[in-house]
Structure 1
Amino acid sequence: MASLPCKLVGQVAFKAGGDVFNAIFTNNAPHMTKITPSKFQSCVLHQGSFDTNGSILEWKYTLDGKEGSCKQVIENLDKEKRQLTYKFIDGDLLELYKTFSASFHVETKNGVDYVTWTLDYELLKPDNPHPVSVLNFVIGFTTDIEAHIFGA
């Protein structure tokens, strides 16, 4: 039986400015280890650069109290549109999901910048959990970035 593609989406207002959020991921992803050390322990560039499609990064992270790792390829980086997609090519999440990608885009509505995260995935087994904890994780570090910028 073929699995169906699934999607989870979460959006959060980002008072520090969407350009700031976008710049962290497109110019200085390793800085996430300093902003949210309880979530990200390392970010290593294996191929390319942090702001180039096709580049490969490896992250060490803590999700739900468990250490994990993943390798991702930058699939769709568009600085002007303030969007980025990471396709997971190795790591813990691929033990549960046939395919997995995480993307964000920043949009401005009525003078407020919003960061929208989208998780696209296929379950390996029908009884595997949907990655709600991963969505909470990305929303959580988005708000952590904002707190870091404001010095909270």
Structure 2
Amino acid sequence: MTLSGKIITEIGVHATAEKWFNLFATQLHHVQNLTDTIHGTRLHHGEDWHHNDSIKHWTYVIDGKVTTCHESIESVDEEKKTITYKIFGEDIEHRFKGFKAIFEAIDKENGGAIVKWTIEYERLGEEVDPPYGYLEYLHKSTRDIDGHLLKA
């Protein structure tokens, strides 16, 4: 069995791809107020939430358990409305050698958008399950956030 993998979920949302990308590219600190799956986040290192050198500390719920990690932005592609996040430290490093979450917002022709989340990971051993709980977390969070973006 391979220790590296990639899992993907695509979620149809009502808000536009532009609204979604703007939230994650320029207002990431607000996400904690839009879903109950995130207990809190703070800037751990750096002065700007959206600079590649900045590190954020997140507390959230995965598989019913409060979990913590650090996150930094690895890359942003404004044209493709894609952001790659490196997830590391704390609870992540006990199970994964590498972990990335890739956000992409794609406009639909008939309005709304598709939010595509890709998780790329490398497990520390075969006894570590693939991070399916993270897909559930991202799916629920995306649904919660979409409701707030529609009101904005």
**TM-score relative to the length of structure 1:** 0.88
Partner secondary structure for residue 99 of structure 1: strand
Partner secondary structure for residue 141 of structure 1: helix
Contact residue 14 and residue 150 of structure 2 kept, 8 A? no
Matched residues in 2 for 1:144 and 1:62: separation?
14
Contact residue 3 and residue 125 of structure 2 kept, 8 A? no
Identity among equivalent positions (%) equals 29
CA deviation vs aligned residue, 1:18-64 (integer Å, no higher than 9, x gap): 1111111111112112111x211222122242222232111111222
Of 37, 40, 51 in structure 1, the residue corresponding to residue 38 of structure 2 is: 40
Give RMSD over aligned pairs. Answer: 1.8
Detail structure 1 runs of 4+ shifted over 3 Å in the superposition: none
- Matches of residues 58-137 of structure 1 in structure 2 within 5 Å? 58-112=57-111, 113-137=113-137
Contact residue 3 and residue 126 of structure 2 kept, 8 A? no
Partner secondary structure for residue 129 of structure 1: coil
CA deviation vs aligned residue, 1:102-134 (integer Å, no higher than 9, x gap): 011112243442111000001111121111110
Partner secondary structure for residue 68 of structure 2: strand
Gaps of 5+ in 1: none
Alignment size in residue pairs: 149
Matched residues in 2 for 1:93 and 1:40: separation?
16
Matched residues in 2 for 1:58 and 1:99: separation?
17
Matched residues in 1 for 2:66 and 2:3: separation?
28
Contact residue 48 and residue 54 of structure 1 kept, 8 A? no
Matched residues in 1 for 2:107 and 2:38: separation?
27
Q: 1:3: Cα distance to partner? A: 5.3
Gaps of 5+ in 2: none
Contact residue 72 and residue 87 of structure 2 kept, 8 A? yes
